[in-house]
Amino acid sequence: MSKITNVRLPNAASDGYSAAQTNQLIRSLEQIVFQLNNTYTAVISDDTASASSWFAAGSGAGGGFAGGIRGFQTSNGIALPYAMLISDADQSSAGITSENLITYTSVSPSNGISVVDNSKIYVPCAGQYLVEVSLQVANHGSAAAEFEVWAKDTGTNIALSNRRFDVAARKSLTIWSHIVPAVSFIFTVNAPSTNYLQLAWWSDGADIYLEHYAAGTTPTRPAIPSVILTINFVSAV
């Protein structure tokens, strides 16, 4: 905290009212007011150190943000972990009895969140994370199919995280049918050095794909990724 140089205040009178003691007190207060009005300036280094300590890792009020959340920014506030993950590749099914892990080809933008082995999402600190994902699902087959997508925590299926969708049969031999499943959920991380998130999918149709499409023309249109996933820190645990 910023400081001023205090002065010695008089002791209380030993018996009754003392004019001398009162005058001494008034003179002392005048010196303090004089410092405030003429010579006092804030100790910037102390203020900065106190602010930095408050925003550093810690626990509880006044001790920083639980989970090691850092990043005080004078212009934008607090920078929290986030990322957008994209796949610009087709992803095919391993078979109607197999689980398929969703993979990613790029992580951008990102603040502290990374992908390992193309499918494992790691976060920098413990907490609750909001995950939102949309998939470009295509059916190349001549029959309708079921499609399911769910979440996994460090290789183990997360209970009640599955979602089922129906995909119509293809429109013709060269025109596929499409759906865009969109799901969101909260992912809880207690041990960021070991916990990771994966998404998996399954279909009873052998011709189901997570499919990307190149940029279009007339009019000019951006490419379509097969997967878009966003993950954002929302709360400490």
Same domain flag for 203 and 182: yes
What is residue 104's three-state secondary structure? coil
Residue, of 196 and 71, whose pLDDT is higher: 196
Residue, of 23 and 207, whose pLDDT is higher: 207
Same domain flag for 132 and 224: yes
Is the pLDDT confidence value at 63 over 70?
no
Q: Using pLDDT thresholds of 50, 70 and 90, give the confidence band for residue 20.
A: confident
Q: Is residue 46 part of a domain?
A: no
Is the pLDDT confidence value at 141 over 90?
yes
160-185 average pLDDT score: 97
Q: Using pLDDT thresholds of 50, 70 and 90, give the confidence band for residue 27.
A: confident
Same domain flag for 104 and 201: yes
Same domain flag for 18 and 134: no
Q: Is residue 47 part of a domain?
A: no
List Cα–Cα distances, 104 to 52, 54, 55, in angstroms: 36, 37, 33
pLDDT at 28: 81
What the block records as the tokens of 85 is 């993950």
Same domain flag for 14 and 73: no
- Of 12-16, 47-51, 52-56, 214-218, least confident by mean pLDDT is 52-56
What is the value of pTM for the model shown?
0.71
What is residue 166's three-state secondary structure? strand
Same domain flag for 29 and 97: no
Is the pLDDT confidence value at 198 over 60?
yes
Is the pLDDT confidence value at 173 over 90?
yes
pLDDT at 72: 42
Residue, of 47 and 179, whose pLDDT is higher: 179
Q: What is the extent of the structural domain holding 13?
A: 1-41
Same domain flag for 2 and 75: no
Same domain flag for 98 and 63: no
- Of 29-38, 157-166, 177-186, 195-204, least confident by mean pLDDT is 29-38
Q: Is residue 182 part of a domain?
A: yes
Is the pLDDT confidence value at 110 over 60?
yes
Based on its alpha-carbon atoms, the radius of gyration of the chain, rounded to whole angstroms, reads 31
Same domain flag for 7 and 85: no
Q: Is residue 207 part of a domain?
A: yes
Contact 200, 229 (CB under 8 A): no
Q: Is residue 149 part of a domain?
A: yes
What are the b/e assignments for 115-130, b being 16+ CB within 10 Å? beeebbbbbbbbbebe
What is residue 158's three-state secondary structure? coil
65-87 average pLDDT score: 68
Number of domains in the chain: 3
Same domain flag for 108 and 59: no
pLDDT at 51: 63
Q: Is residue 115 part of a domain?
A: yes
Average pLDDT over all residues of the chain? 86
Peptide bond into 109 cis (omega under 30): yes
Same domain flag for 73 and 167: no
pLDDT at 224: 98
Q: Using pLDDT thresholds of 50, 70 and 90, give the confidence band for residue 37.
A: confident
Contact 102, 198 (CB under 8 A): yes
- Of 5-19, 23-37, 40-54, 144-158, least confident by mean pLDDT is 40-54
What the block records as the tokens of 198 is 């994966």
pLDDT at 2: 53
39-63 average pLDDT score: 57
Same domain flag for 107 and 152: yes
Is the pLDDT confidence value at 168 over 70?
yes
